[in-house]
Amino acid sequence: MKMLVVLLSLLALTNAIQLYGEESDGQCNYVKLTLEPRPHSVSILEFGAVGDGKTLNTLAFQNAIFYLKSFADKGGAQLYVPPGRWLTGSFNLTSHLTLFLEKGAIILGSQDPSQWEVVDPLPSYGRGLDLPGKRYRSLINGYQLQDVVITGDNGTIDGQGSVWWDWFSSHSLNYSRPHLVEIVESELVVVSNLTLLNAPAYSIHPVYCSDVLVQNISVSNPPGSPHTVGVVPDSSNDVCIEDCIISTGYDAIALKSGWDEYGIDYGRPTKNVHIRRVHLWSSSRSCLAFGSEMSGGISNVVVEHVRLYNSYSGIEFRTTKGRGGYIKHVNISDVVMQNVYMAFSACGQCGVHPDDKFDPTALPVLEQITLQDVTGTNISVAGNFMGIEESPFTLICLSNITLSINSGSLASWVCSNVSGSSQSVFPEPCPDLENPYSNSSSACFSSTSNGKSATL
């Protein structure tokens, strides 16, 4: 199935992105592509843009992209943004387009809400995230696109989000906040070699997408920026996030798939995600989060070589009754944490509901989560695993974990309604997670067929 998609894409597009079907160690597990120069390029200057940080360039971006649509069947085209400060409201991308930000090029999001179109909520959420009802369209948008690349020589996209954070905090928003980059229902999406600053809400939000590569980017949303999240793969499959540095107010990377009854109805999971070589900071929440919106399901996630610093929590799985969905088949390894209050958390009572129409009997499933080869220094709580009584978290496999707990800590591990196995874990986990691996580490997985690997 995957191969078919890959071959079709290759035939259908004579464009910048080529996909490889074969495995290769240097490449991401799920996205294998290489970038080639577009045959055509125009500069935003040709559309009357002025890079003085004051002139509004929304029309220049919209007109440039409208013009570049005509190159879609000619190998696509590049929109070149030279050094300068390019103030703009929100604009749409088009297929077979590369948006290239030169070194010193800064796209600045307008702080005037009238420059941001108001649009319907996403169907898998049923409402805006901050408020019921509609939401602002993101600064840079894609809808039903193929082969779109946002890249540069470390150019910057700065959402100037402080006004949005203030409106959020003072409850004066009229609609839910916009994101910096949101790509919807698209295939072959690359965001690379850029710096993204001050997102109003999320920095990069691929939703209902496949074949997404986020590579070599730096994301920064300052501490205290409310609910700002770095990269959010949402109901998307075949996603790779690598070589990134992300620091945010809330979660640095969050995998999601829709909210309660809306997410269950939409039914599109996030799956086949590979995250590696990332450095993450989160001032108020989690470096790496699963959920809490996960009603379409999240599975087949590999995370390796991650460094997590100065954060409230390192890795969190969040869900609640009424979500439905699942989080399963997640392998996380080679993790170093420093100055993290809570290293791991799995929470069955985390997350609010979009409205009162959710089905409280829609129980989420959390199973087959492996955490291995982890070291941590200056940790307060090693793990807090609080499952759901009617749907306990199972097959939590911990291996080769050494956390140095700071002296102020009350309890290293807290567990309930959870089962799993562990080997070589220090400090020693709670009995619920202490069932020794019966043999090799695969026992933790193969035990599904034998019933349970541990007792509740």
Ligand X SMILES: *[C@@H]1O[C@H](CO)[C@@H](O)[C@H](O)[C@H]1NC(C)=O
User: Residue 236 or residue 357: which is nearer to ligand X going by CB?
Assistant: 236
Contact set for ligand X, span 284-303 (CB under 6 A): 300, 302
How far apart are alpha carbons 240 and 437 in whole angstroms?
A: 31
Residue pair 240/274 in contact by the 8 Å Cβ criterion: yes
Question: Using CB under 6 A, which residues numbered 21 to 60 contact ligand X?
Answer: 35
Distance CA 110, CA 54 (A): 9
Decide if residue 339 touches ligand X (CB under 6 A).
yes
Site string for ligand X, 246-285 (x = CB under 6 A): ----------------------------------------
How many residues belong to the chain? Answer: 456
- Angle at the Cα of 329 from the Cα atoms of 373 and 365, rounded to 5 degrees: 120
Residue 305 tokens, joined = 């070589």
Q: Which of 14, 43, 62, 115 binds ligand X (CB under 6 A)?
A: 62
Task: With CA atoms as reference, report the closest residue to 286 among 247, 325, 257.
Answer: 247
Among 265, 378, 414, 426, binds ligand X (CB under 6 A): 378
| Rounded Cα distance, 157 and 198, in Å | 9
Among 307, 341, 426, 427, binds ligand X (CB under 6 A): 341
Of 27 and 375, which CB lies nearer to ligand X in the complex structure? 375
* Binding of residue 373 to ligand X (CB under 6 A): yes
* Nearest-angstrom CA–CA distance, 183 and 207: 6
3 state SS of 359: coil
The Cβ-side half-sphere exposure at 237, using a 13 Å CA radius, reads 10
407 forms part of the interface with ligand X (CB under 6 A): no
Closest distance between ligand X and the C-beta of residue 197, in Å? 7
Q: Which of 153, 176, 56, 48 is nearest to 105 (CA)?
A: 153
Among 46, 73, 153, 359, the residue binding ligand X under the rule CB under 6 A is: 153
Largest pairwise CA distance in the chain:
68
Choice from 173, 189, 201, 343 touching ligand X (CB under 6 A):
173
Question: Shortest Cβ distance from residue 74 to ligand X (Å)?
Answer: 21
- 424, 430, 433, 434: CA torsion to nearest 10: 50
Amino acid at 351: G
Question: Site for ligand X (CB under 6 A): which residue of 15, 78, 110, 156?
Answer: 156
Q: Please tell me the distance from the alpha carbon of residue 437 to that of residue 286, in angstroms, as a whole number.
A: 28
Q: Which stretch binds ligand X (CB under 6 A): 67-75, 146-154, 198-206, 226-234?
A: 146-154
- 186 is a site residue for ligand X (CB under 6 A): no
Q: Does 160 bind ligand X (CB under 6 A)?
A: no
Site string for ligand X, 82-101 (x = CB under 6 A): ----------x---------
- If we measure between CA atoms, which residue out of 75, 245, 81 comes closest to residue 153? 81
Task: Provide the minimum distance between the beta carbon of 114 and ligand X in the complex, in angstroms, as a whole number.
Answer: 8
- 442 in contact with ligand X (CB under 6 A): yes
Among 27, 160, 192, 284, binds ligand X (CB under 6 A): 192
Task: Identify the residue whose tokens are 């077979």.
Answer: 96
Task: Decide if residue 166 touches ligand X (CB under 6 A).
Answer: no
Stretch that binds ligand X, among 49-57, 121-129, 165-173, 282-290 (CB under 6 A): 165-173
**Rounded least distance, CB 352 to ligand X, Å:** 17
Fill in the DSSP letter of residue 234. Answer: B
Q: Is 102 in the site for ligand X (CB under 6 A)?
A: no
Alpha-carbon distance 148 to 411, whole Å? 48
User: Which residue number has the CB closest to ligand X?
Assistant: 154
60 CB-near residues (< 8 Å, 6+ apart): 44, 47, 48, 49, 88
Interface residue with ligand X, options 237, 329, 421, 434 (CB under 6 A): 329
Q: Does 309 bind ligand X (CB under 6 A)?
A: no
Cβ-count burial 197-226 (b if 16+ within 10 Å, e if not): bbbbbbbbbbbbbbbbbbbbbbbbbeeebb
212: enclosing H helix or E strand: strand 210-215
Q: Does 167 bind ligand X (CB under 6 A)?
A: yes
35 versus 45: smaller Cβ distance to ligand X: 35
Stretch binding ligand X (CB under 6 A), from 9-17, 126-134, 153-161, 259-267: 153-161
Give the number of other Cβ atoms within 10 Å of residue 341's Cβ. 16
> Which residue type, as a one-letter code, is found at position 140?
I
Selected range binding ligand X among 77-85, 124-132, 151-159, 200-208, rule: CB under 6 A: 151-159
Instruction: Give the SS3 label for residue 337.
Output: strand
Q: Taking CB under 6 A as the rule, does residue 174 contact ligand X?
A: yes
Binding site for ligand X (CB under 6 A): 35, 62, 92, 113, 143, 151, 153-154, 156, 167, 172-174, 190, 192-193, 195, 215-216, 300, 302, 329, 331, 339, 341, 370, 373, 375, 378, 380, 389, 400, 416-417, 439-440, 442, 445, 456
